[in-house]
Amino acid sequence: MVGQAVLRECLMDPRIDKVLSMVRGTSGLHHAKLDERVHSDFLDFSSLQQTWRGYDACFYCLGVSSAGMNERDYRRVTFDFTLAAARLLAQLNPAMTFVYVSGAGTDSTERGRSMWARVKGATENALLALPFKAVMFRPGVIIPLHGIRSKTRSYRMFYAATRPLWGLLRAVWPNAVSTSEQVGRAMIAAARDGTSQPIMEARDINRVGKSV
């Protein structure tokens, strides 16, 4: 869902010349600035070295819900996939900014009781240790706009059930609720303008997203 959001904002932003989108299945989206590539093995990107050279930023939005998953499988998608891409990008484009979509409640100590939070924390820490500029985005509740939909069924059910309350949620918890538009714009701002904060919580995302 965040990937859809930031892709929309990138394609609409006149300051962005080109977007390379790495996907597991074709989206059917066509745009003059978009170069979409289907790639099946997210543990091995070595065949894409020439393709990946010369980019200023990477918005890493791949992720899954931890519901029903054991730690080994969740870590494979969350940590192993991410670092396989990030290590190669750091080697090819050391001056780039890598924006990673994490989540509110991520455990930077890697020692907490919550499995998903530990794995996300380990992923963040590993990214921050790589030789490029890395920024961790920790959004809370994201309200999807402009026809954007989550691919996770439970999330879609949640959004359908709470839609009448979206305005109230934003009013009551302004520092915990973001729109997909705010998140996408804040990611672009973090890459273009830089940020002194390696970790951006929902309140930081909203502040930057509103200012763009």
**Distance (Å, whole) CA 34 – CA 158:** 31
| CATH number of the domain encompassing residue 123 | 3.40.50.720
Q: Which residue has the higher pLDDT, 25 or 60?
A: 60
- The CA-CA-CA angle for residues 157, 159, 163, to 5°, reads 125
pTM of the model: 0.91
Query: Please, what's the b/e burial string for 121-141 (b: 16 or more CB within 10 A of its CB; e: otherwise)?
Result: bbbbeebbebebbbbbbbbbb
Q: Is pLDDT above 80 for 158?
A: no
**Distance (Å, whole) CA 57 – CA 71:** 29
Residue type, 99: V
Residue count (the chain):
212
* Number of domains the chain contains: 1
Beta bridge partners of 137: 101, 200
Q: What is the pLDDT of residues 136-156, one digit of tens each?
A: 999 998 989 888 887 777 777
Q: Is pLDDT above 90 for 135?
A: yes
* Share above pLDDT 90 across residues of the chain, in percent, rounded to a whole number: 78
* Share above pLDDT 70 across residues of the chain, in percent, rounded to a whole number: 100
Q: What is the pLDDT of residues 73-111, one digit of tens each?
A: 999 999 999 999 999 999 999 999 999 999 999 999 999
Which residues have CB under 8 Å from 161's CB, separation 6+?
Answer: none
What is the pLDDT at residue 172? 80
What is the pLDDT at residue 52? 97
